[in-house]
Each structure stands twice: as C-alpha cells, then as structure tokens.
Chain A
Amino acid sequence: MTSLAPPALRRSSTEASTGGRSGSVSWLAVPAFLMFVAFGIVPLIGVLVLSFTQWDGIGDIHPAGFDSWRTVLSDPALVHALWVTFLIMALSWAFQTPLSLLIGVYLATQTRYREILAVIYFVPLLLSSAALAITYKALLDPNFGLGAGLGIPLLQQDWLGRDNLALGVLVFVVSWQFIPFHSLIYQSGVRQIPKAMYEAAEIDGAGRLRQFFSITLPQLKYTIITSSTLMVVGSLTFFDLIFVLTGGGPGDATRALALDMYKRGFQANLMGPASAIAVILVLVGLALALLLRRLGGKDASESQMEGV
C-alpha cells in the first residue's frame, strides 16, 4: 500500500508542474511569434506578391505577371551584382576568419593586459556603419585625406575611384568592423575546450602549434560554422556601408545586390523588379545558411566531448 502512495503523489505533482510550465512557455512565445510574423513573414509575402506587379511606389499597383522577373533575370546588371556580392562575401570571409580566430585564441589565454587589449579590440564594434563609412571616406580622400595630409605617396591612391581598390577598401572596412565580434565568438569557443585535452597533449609531447591544429581548431568546428554563417549571410545585406562609402561606384564596381535593390526600388521607382531582387536575396541567403549547416555534418548537436 505504501508503495502506491508515492507514485500517485509524484504523478500529480509532475502533471501540475509540466502542465503549468508548458502552458506559460507557449504563451510567452506569442509576442516573439507575432513580431516574427508581422516583420518577417508578412513583408516577405508582400515582397513576393509585389514582384509579380508593376508599381512606382506612388500610384496604383497593377498585376504584371512575370514581367519584373523577366526584366531582372535578363539584365546583365543582376549577374554583375551577384558577382560583386559574392566577391565581397568570399573576400571578407577569407580575411576575417583567420584573423578573428587568432585574436580569439589569444584573448582566451591568460596574458597580461588581456582585458585592456580586449576592450580596445571591441571599439570598432560600437561604431555605426554609416559613421565608419563617413570617417573612412574622409581619411581616404585623394586630395584632403590621410595620404595627402601626411605626404605619404603610398597612401595617396585613388582608393575609392578604382574598381579593385574600392572593393578592397570595402572588404577591409567590413573586416575592421566585424573582426572584434567574431573574435568574441571564438574567444568563448576556446574557453569551452576542456583543459584536460591540452594537459594530455602536453604529456604526449605536442608543441603549441600541434596543439592548435590538433585540438583547438577541431574543437572550434561548430564555432567556425556559426561565425561563418553570420559572416556569409550578413554580407548579403551590406548596404549602409557601401551606400555611404562608394554609392556603388566607381561606375558599378561595388554595386552589390542589396544596393541594386534599393536603387531600383527607391530611386528608379521600380518596385516590381526591386521586389524580385529581394526575393532572390532571401533565396540566396537561405541556400547559403543551409549549405553551411550541411558542411557542419548531419547532426550539429552531436557531442565533441566523447572520451573526455
């Protein structure tokens, strides 16, 4: 008889608590869900619908079938914009990842002045892209900028007036701004690695370099994927920086997809084609995020701690 009592009691208590908890949790998700629907799903559907219409942003909206899509897909400017976007993405990834990885690893170790250095590294992250762009534009001005002011010929390039240089400057400024953020991610990733692994490696006679490549790097696999996803998908939406720094120029050398969309929609009043580009942006972003998750292995939640 006594053995029956506890289960009964337990059942009633679990029922109450799980029932209550799951109830409150689902209710709490409502605001976030509403926000996502209002600002994520609804505009997305709106853009999809608009891409099949003709609208100048002022007058009436007329259905136009596949006209906008035909215009956009047959326009060589789209291929160019995709290529520029890809270049910015690839170059800024290739530039940022090794640097932020190294800084992250360095910051995770116990070094003197680490805290002070960490604070200094994070300063660029506090600045807005528009402010950064205006500052860099002033510094790089060929006639009134840093190079002309200090009289250093090497710095007196037409930084934003030549195709490749302008793209390079863009990648540099993007990296300068976001390396601190990714360093922060890597720093916390490195700190999660159990000390025991390094101790074991040291006993086995592995040097620092070997430890880095055999322990730190493999252990950071998912951190790298997370950081890369943020970089790659984030670089699709670079707009403010490019808009202020180069305006897409010189010519159309830095006219990335997001900028192309803005110019078509809000400057040329072609909301249909602009919406089509927006849909393409969403699709490219989703495909890239999916691809990066695939690269991380089938089961991203699989443990790396086996045997520890």
Chain B
Amino acid sequence: MERSILSRRNFLGLTMGVGAGAALAACGSSGPGTGAAGGGGAGAASYWFLTGAPGEGIRTNTVNRFNQANPDAKITATTFQNDAYKTKIKTSIGANQAPTIIWGWGGGTLRSYVQAGQVEDLTSWFGENAAVKDRLFPSSFGAATIDGKIYAMPAETVQPIVMFYNKRAFEKIGAQPPQTWGDVMDLVPKFNAKGIAPFSLGGQSRWTNMMWLEFLFDRIGGSEVFQAVFDGQKGAWSHPAAIQALTLTQDLIKANGFIKGFSSITADSNADQALLYTGKAAMMLHGTWTYGGMAADGGDFVSSGSLGYMNFPPIDGGKGDVSDTVGNPGQYYSISSKATAEQKETAKKFFKEAVLADAEVKEWIDAGAVPIVKGTEGAFGATKDADFLKFVYQTSANAKTFAQSWDQALSPTAAEKLLDNIAQLFQLKISPEKWAENMNGTIGQ
C-alpha cells in the first residue's frame, strides 16, 4: 500500500516537473510564434506596428479596409509600444519569427536586416508596379535603398525637424525670430534676462541633442559632411566644418542657451514640448510629430496661433543650402523573407492596394500630418492645420537634401556610440576634437 502511494507521488512529481517544463517551453516559443502564424488561417499575413494616436488608429483602419476588400487574403495586426517594439522586432527577426510585414524606420536598421538576409528585395516589384513608386516622394526612397536595391515600401508621413517658437515669448522681449545663427546667439542673453529659457531641450533622450548637430553640420559644411561619414570615409568626423559645428554647440550651451536641467529631461514624457507651450522656453528644435501633442495638451497655444515655426536659420559663411532639412523622410514597411509565398503575395497586394490609398491619405491629413504622397496640398485647405501642413509639405518637397536622422541612417552599433558621445559633448565633458576622435573610431562599423 505504502509503496504504491509513494510511487504515485513520485509519478506526480515527475509529471508536474515535466508539465511545468513543457508549459514553460511553450511560453518561450508561443510569444513570437502566434504572431508569425497569425489568427486567420495559413495564408494570413501578419503585421506588427506601433501604438499611439493618431498613427495606430489610421494603420488599423487601413488593415480593416484591406481585409474587407480581400476576404481570402487577410492581414492580422498586432500592436506594440515604441520602445518595446524596437527590442521585440529585433529578437523576432533574429529568431526567424518575424511578422510578414515589418514596420520600421529604414536606414541602418534595415541594412542590418538586409545583411542577415531577412527581408525581401522589392526592386523588381517596384519596377513592375511603377505607379506605386511614382506617386510617392522620391526623397522617401533613400532610406529604403541599400546598395542600390529597394528593400522597403516607404509609407505614412514625412516628418522634418523644424524650429518651433513661442510667439508670446518673443512679444515679451520685443524681438523677432532669428534669421541667422548670429541672431540666435544675440537672443540668448535677452531671453535669459527675462527669465525665459532660449531653447527647450529633452537632453536625456540624446537624439534630441543630435538634431542640433545635424543642422549645424549641414548649415556650416553642407550635406556632404555627413554623407562622407555615411559612406565610411576615414576620419570624416573631424572635417573642419564638423569641429566648428561642435564648437558652436558648446558655445551655445556655455551661454545658457538651453533650459536649466536639460540633461535630465526626456522627450518621451513630452516635457520639452510643455516647456515651450507654457512659455518657460522660447524656442525648440524638434520633429513635426510634436505638433499634434502641443495642439492637444497646450490649451489654446496652437489654436490661438501662438506657435510659430520655421526652418533652421543659416549660419554666416556656411556652405549648406538653407532649404536642407533632416528628419524622417517616411516610415518603412518591409516583407520578411521567411514568410510563405502566399503571405508575401498578400503583403504585396496590401502595399499596392491599401497602403496610402486615398482614404488613408485623408486620415493622415486630418490628423495634422503630411503623407509622403505627391500632390496632396489641395486637400490641406479644408483642415484647421492648413498653414502648418503647407509649411511641412513645402519644407519637405523643396528641400535640396532631405537627410535621414543620423541615428537611423547609421548602423545600430555606430548610432549608439554617436548618442553616447553626443551626451558627453552636451555635458561639456569632452572637447569637439576628442568627440571627433571618438567618432572616427566608429566609421565603417
């Protein structure tokens, strides 16, 4: 009797152990697994994208419209929060569990997918479907093109980085928005004397600081300075224009050009935008995606017309074209090379028929963003943000060079080193020369 009870106990212990192990093993693979398999049958393509208004709603609507029109070839969508997605997508692709449609930012990250053979080459598909390609901004294809081949469909909206300013703050000191870099430096003491910070900056996020360097490099030395870095030329970071740009940045910091405590402010919390619309800071260099947030959270700041915007001012004696801009030339949809032929077909059909179709274009414009589709200015007049939309469209369409943000354009390894060194530069812990030396070590990585 006793024996049989014991053996049953042993048996239970064993089964529980094995059961728990099996359950855990299932956990390990089911996360990405369900995503890849999708919920709507074998042919369904999976699509992961980001949460957050207004993009999430618009992307979901596009998928729903496609699914209604194509009952046989469905797309199942899964949404992720921005930072979680960045880690998740990398892990999934590394584990060959990527979704059929990979949402991304193009540039250096896309290059790492291409090098690992994880995404489809869409060059010939765009050749066959020239109509799809020709209606989009040509500048949006740069970040989708790796070594002459197109690996992603540019989509969604164009987001240049622009100089926002608070008109009320300028009224207080009786000054005009800066026309040159000299004006910027003259405005700094005037604002500080009135207790207003000249510039808002979410410095802890690091890429926020980077936007300053992107413009200063361009305005002083032209777009070819960063292009040389991108092309992997030895010592490209120590170009004289680069050293001058870094020196000007540190001069601005030493003159208290940025809000007190900028190095502990994050952009994710929108605290930098809040500084501008509450009038604690007079100006802010930021992406056009912040417009919606300021309109929503800033009370009557945007609706009363107190928000001003302009392109980055020129620098005396600089070689860069004043029309140049940087930012996100688009968002990018790639197709996983590990997907089944059927899933790939569905994804391509989705790109052709649903992505940036008229209904989606209208939704983006209504949300205060400029889709990367040519000839949409006509639709701006009907919206309350018409002036801003026109400004974004003009800035993007007229830019001689629309550069991609550095941290997106470079490889993730080089980008991380860049952001680290930028944080040190803004803390005045390293000199421009030391900065250039550190960064030269990352060229070609």
Say whether A and B bind each other.
Answer: yes
Interface string of B400-418 (1 = CB under 8 A from A): 0000000000011101110
Contacts of A264 in B (CB 8 A): 416
Interface residues in B82-121 by Cβ distance below 8 A to A read: 87, 90-91, 93-94, 112-113, 115-118
Contacts of B116 in A (CB 8 A): 56, 58-60
Among the listed stretches A186-194, A231-239, A242-250, A288-296, which one makes contact with chain B, having 4 or more residues with CB under 8 Å of it?
A242-250
Given contacts A23-B10, A158-B261, A249-B423, is CB(A141)–CB(B271) below 8 Å?
Answer: yes
Minimum CB–CB distance from A13 to chain B (whole Å) comes to: 11
Report the Cα distance A20→B2, complex, angstroms.
Answer: 8
Q: Is the CB of B424 within 8 A of A158?
A: no
Q: Is the CB of B420 within 8 A of A142?
A: no
Q: Is the CB of A266 within 8 A of B14?
A: no
Q: Is the CB of A58 within 8 A of B90?
A: yes
Minimum CB–CB distance from A241 to chain B (whole Å) comes to: 15
Q: Is the CB of B94 within 8 A of A58?
A: yes
Q: Is the CB of B263 within 8 A of A59?
A: no
Report the Cα distance A24→B2, complex, angstroms.
Answer: 12
Contacts of A47 in B (CB 8 A): none
Contacts of B265 in A (CB 8 A): 141-143
Does A269 have its Cβ within 8 Å of any Cβ on chain B? yes
Minimum CB–CB distance from A273 to chain B (whole Å) comes to: 10
Does B229 have its Cβ within 8 Å of any Cβ on chain A? no
Q: Is the CB of A268 within 8 A of B412?
A: yes
Q: Is the CB of B264 within 8 A of A34?
A: no
Report the Cα distance A91→B350, complex, angstroms.
Answer: 57
Interface residues in A239-284 by Cβ distance below 8 A to B read: 246-247, 249-252, 263-264, 266-270
Minimum CB–CB distance from A225 to chain B (whole Å) comes to: 33
Q: Is the CB of A58 within 8 A of B93?
A: yes
Q: Is the CB of B264 within 8 A of A30?
A: no
Contacts of A86 in B (CB 8 A): none
Does B240 have its Cβ within 8 Å of any Cβ on chain A? no
Contacts of A56 in B (CB 8 A): 112, 116, 412-413
Report the Cα distance A249→B416, complex, angstroms.
Answer: 14
Q: Which residue in B117, B280, B417 is a CB contact (below 8 Å) of A268?
A: B417
Q: Is the CB of B424 within 8 A of A159?
A: no
Q: Is the CB of B417 within 8 A of A142?
A: no
Interface residues in B193-209 by Cβ distance below 8 A to A read: 203-206
Interface residues on B, range: 35 or more
Contacts of B24 in A (CB 8 A): 35, 38
Nearest residue (CB) in A for B261 is A142
Report the Cα distance A266→B89, complex, angstroms.
Answer: 11
Q: Is the CB of B280 within 8 A of A160?
A: no
Q: Which residue in A28, A60, A249, A270 is a CB contact (below 8 Å) of B204?
A: A249
Interface string of B180-224 (1 = CB under 8 A from A): 000000000000000000000001111000000000000000000
Interface residues in B1-38 by Cβ distance below 8 A to A read: 2, 6, 9-10, 13-14, 16-17, 20-21, 24
Contacts of B429 in A (CB 8 A): 251
Does B262 have its Cβ within 8 Å of any Cβ on chain A? yes
Given contacts A59-B112, A266-B87, A269-B412, is CB(A16)–CB(B264) below 8 Å?
Answer: no
Does A212 have its Cβ within 8 Å of any Cβ on chain B? no
Contacts of B285 in A (CB 8 A): none
Does B275 have its Cβ within 8 Å of any Cβ on chain A? yes
Does A66 have its Cβ within 8 Å of any Cβ on chain B? no
Contacts of B204 in A (CB 8 A): 160, 246-247, 249-250
Contacts of B423 in A (CB 8 A): 249-252
Does B242 have its Cβ within 8 Å of any Cβ on chain A? no
Interface residues on A, range: 35 or more
Contacts of B416 in A (CB 8 A): 263-264, 267-268
Interface residues in B423-441 by Cβ distance below 8 A to A read: 423-424, 427, 429
Contacts of A266 in B (CB 8 A): 87, 90
Q: Is the CB of A160 within 8 A of B93?
A: no
Nearest residue (CB) in B for A56 is B112
Q: Is the CB of A24 within 8 A of B6?
A: yes
Given contacts A27-B9, A30-B14, A249-B423, is CB(A57)–CB(B90) below 8 Å?
Answer: yes
Among A16, A160, A249, the most chain B Cβ lie within 10 Å of the Cβ of: A249
Report the Cα distance A30→B11, complex, angstroms.
Answer: 12
Interface residues in A54-83 by Cβ distance below 8 A to B read: 56-60
Given contacts A249-B264, A250-B263, A251-B423, is CB(A20)–CB(B6) below 8 Å?
Answer: yes
Contacts of B65 in A (CB 8 A): none
Q: Is the CB of A268 within 8 A of B271?
A: no
Report the Cα distance A141→B270, complex, angstroms.
Answer: 13
Report the Cα distance A58→B10, complex, angstroms.
Answer: 43
Q: Is the CB of A159 within 8 A of B90?
A: no
Counting from the closest, the 9 A-B pairs by CB-CB distance are: A142-B261, A160-B264, A59-B116, A268-B416, A31-B17, A27-B13, A251-B427, A250-B263, A161-B264
A-B contact pairs, 9 of them (CB 8 A): A20-B2, A24-B10, A27-B14, A56-B412, A56-B413, A143-B271, A251-B424, A267-B412, A270-B413
Other than A24-B6, A58-B112, give 14 A-B pairs with Cβ distance below 8 A.
Answer: A16-B2, A28-B13, A31-B13, A59-B115, A59-B116, A137-B266, A137-B269, A144-B271, A158-B264, A161-B262, A247-B204, A250-B204, A251-B427, A268-B415
Residues of chain B whose beta carbon lies under 8 Å from any beta carbon of chain A: 2, 6, 9-10, 13-14, 16-17, 20-21, 24, 87, 90-91, 93-94, 112-113, 115-118, 203-206, 259-266, 269, 271, 274-275, 280, 411-413, 415-417, 420, 423-424, 427, 429
Residues of chain A whose beta carbon lies under 8 Å from any beta carbon of chain B: 16, 20, 23-24, 27-28, 30-31, 34-35, 38, 56-60, 137, 140-144, 158-161, 166, 246-247, 249-252, 263-264, 266-270
